[in-house]
């Protein structure tokens, strides 16, 4: 799924399908979470699909990304399979992290997904670290670090971008400005109109892109990636977008009106608008669009069934992947959990 040739009709249709998949995946997460099938906490990115599909579609398979607590779209666009991603949200053994990560900690190194980061702004220093690795290894890949507009007020974001700028690391920082930091509107948190202006303080390029336009995002991130691989350092990209759902599922959203949300959906939806663009160019018929929607829905029907049917992890598996070389206490706790069923986490109290 990654590395979309946006210059070809097939690539443009693939970009549309990626956005449809992200939207339908989160429709299922919304509904199954409401039915208490999915444990924990979920944050949806509906409305922001063009940023994920456009940015990840500009990357090669061996490029890396880091993400935020709103990571479903980035993960799918980078090539993670919807069935294993959904199984992870269900807490099942077949999930990408064995069910231990859930929605906000999913990762898959084989697909270049270094991890969702529930700590606000933590994706930026992690992306900077990946950039250091690439530079030390003289590698031909780069890292893209996604972060939200609210995270830009966090100190670690400035530290990470400043270090990457100073060392000219191959990193692209993509700020998804969805207008709200949890329940706070943008201009109540920031004293600038455009976050991309901050790039000047680091001495790097700052680009503003329409985050509802998948082709514009792809073009901007492609150029930033080329600059990074040429050894010219990082770029700060601000994608202006909007989230349709609350900060989290269950958020009553007292900070904005339903009319505002409906206006964005009616006038700025990245999927419906792009389908119209492709139709106007003669690259997508109504029948092809409906077939694409049906294919995505069938994919998600199968993914839901896969997640429901997948095995629960054994309690003692909670200690897997905690240490590269497990400490003696971990093995003792694991043995106790296997004996008593993990009632006290293996502590033996």
Could you tell me which residues come within 8 angstroms of residue 315 by beta carbon, excluding any fewer than 6 positions away? 337, 341, 342
The pTM of the whole model exceeds 0.85 = yes
Q: What is the pLDDT at residue 332? A: 76
- Count the Cβ atoms, other than its own, within 10 Å of residue 103: 26
Query: SS3 for 50?
Result: helix
Can you tell me the distance from the alpha carbon of 217 to that of 224, in angstroms, rounded to the nearest whole number?
A: 11
Could you tell me which residues come within 8 angstroms of residue 208 by beta carbon, excluding any fewer than 6 positions away? 194, 196, 238, 240
Q: CA neighbours within 13 Å on the CB side: how many for 185?
A: 8
> In this predicted model, what pLDDT tens digit does every residue of 160-180 receive, in sequence order?
999 999 999 999 999 999 999
Is residue 1 predicted with pLDDT exceeding 60?
A: no
Q: What is the pLDDT at residue 329? A: 75
Is residue 295 predicted with pLDDT exceeding 80?
A: yes
> In this predicted model, what pLDDT tens digit does every residue of 191-241 receive, in sequence order?
999 999 999 999 999 999 999 999 999 999 999 999 999 999 999 999 999
């Amino acid at each position: 799924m990654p590395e979309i040739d946006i210059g070809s009709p097939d690539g443009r249709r693939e970009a549309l399908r990626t956005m449809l998949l992200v939207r339908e995946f989160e429709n299922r997460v919304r509904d199954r979470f409401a039915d208490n099938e999915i444990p924990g906490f979920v944050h949806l990115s509906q409305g922001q699909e063009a940023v994920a599909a456009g940015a990840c579609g500009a990357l090669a398979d061996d490029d890396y990304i880091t993400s935020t607590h709103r990571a479903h779209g980035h993960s799918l666009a980078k090539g993670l399979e919807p069935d294993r991603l959904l199984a992870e949200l269900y807490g099942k053994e077949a999930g990408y992290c064995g069910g231990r990560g859930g929605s906000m900690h999913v990762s898959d190194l084989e697909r270049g997904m270094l991890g969702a980061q529930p700590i606000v702004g933590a994706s930026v220093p992690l992306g900077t670290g990946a950039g250091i690795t690439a530079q030390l290894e003289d590698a031909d890949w780069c890292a893209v670090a996604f972060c939200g507009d609210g995270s830009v007020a966090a100190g670690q974001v400035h530290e990470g971008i400043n270090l990457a700028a100073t060392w000219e690391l191959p990193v692209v920082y993509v700020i998804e400005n969805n207008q709200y930091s949890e329940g706070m509107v943008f201009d109540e948190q920031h004293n600038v109109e455009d976050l991309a202006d901050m790039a000047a303080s680091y001495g790097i390029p700052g680009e503003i892109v329409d985050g509802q336009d998948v082709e514009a995002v792809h073009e901007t991130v492609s150029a930033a990636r080329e600059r990074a691989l040429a050894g010219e350092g990082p770029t700060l990209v601000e994608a202006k977008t909007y989230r349709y759902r609350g900060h989290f599922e269950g958020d009553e959203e007292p900070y904005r009106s339903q009319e505002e949300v409906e206006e964005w959906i009616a006038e700025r939806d990245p999927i419906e608008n792009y389908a119209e663009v492709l139709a106007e160019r003669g690259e997508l018929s109504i029948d092809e669009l409906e077939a694409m929607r049906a294919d995505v829905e069938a994919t998600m029907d199968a993914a839901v069934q896969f997640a429901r049917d997948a095995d629960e992890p054994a309690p003692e598996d909670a200690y897997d992947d905690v240490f590269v070389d497990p400490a003696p206490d971990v093995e003792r706790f694991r043995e106790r959990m296997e004996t008593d069923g993990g009632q006290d986490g293996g502590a033996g109290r």
